[in-house]
Amino acid sequence: AEVQRQVHERFGEIIVYHEDQVDALAQLSRSTRRKLNCAIRMPALLTHDLWRIWSTIDAGALKALCLDAVDFRYISAEDDLFLAGEPSSEALYIADGQHLYTQTPSTSMVDEEVSNNVLGDTWVCEAALWSMWITVGSMTAVTRSKVFTICARKLWDLIRVTPSVENMAITYARNFHK
């Protein structure tokens, strides 16, 4: 019954495509596509203090981050953003929508199941950028939402070749765990 309900509801939803699925974007020049990608991703990055500082130190590094390590996708209601006990290699910026974050005693240091509403304009799983991270809770979309992700491996690839932000990023990573 749940499968049928979700399939029926999703066929009635407006279809939202990932940019890789939009053929018209492939017709744009590379420079125009890069400008468009930065215009879409940069406002999300600049909601976080670290990336705002990067923008003042090395705007080119932040642009490279946008182009190489940041992605975005639309999440349908009832989709899982992540499940408890899974490795995570990306931080998520929830731009809009409503989500439910749930922790249980089997994967978290809680005595009973705990659930919290998570609204838009929120960063989650940032620890995945600075450590080998296993999620301790699950997050499910309550409403359709737009989510940006930063891939940890691609972030560190960029940090290693960008001396202007390397020391700051390493210091931030160390301090993140304190």
What are 61-97's pLDDT values in tens digits? 999 999 999 999 999 999 999 999 999 999 999 999 9
What are 14-45's pLDDT values in tens digits? 666 667 666 776 777 888 888 989 999 999 99
- Residue 129 phi, psi dihedral angles, 5° rounding: -80, -25
pTM attached to this predicted model: 0.86
Is residue 140 within 8 Å of 99, Cβ to Cβ?
yes
Over the range 65-75, which residues count as b (16 or more CB within 10 Å of their CB) and which as e? bbeebbbbebb
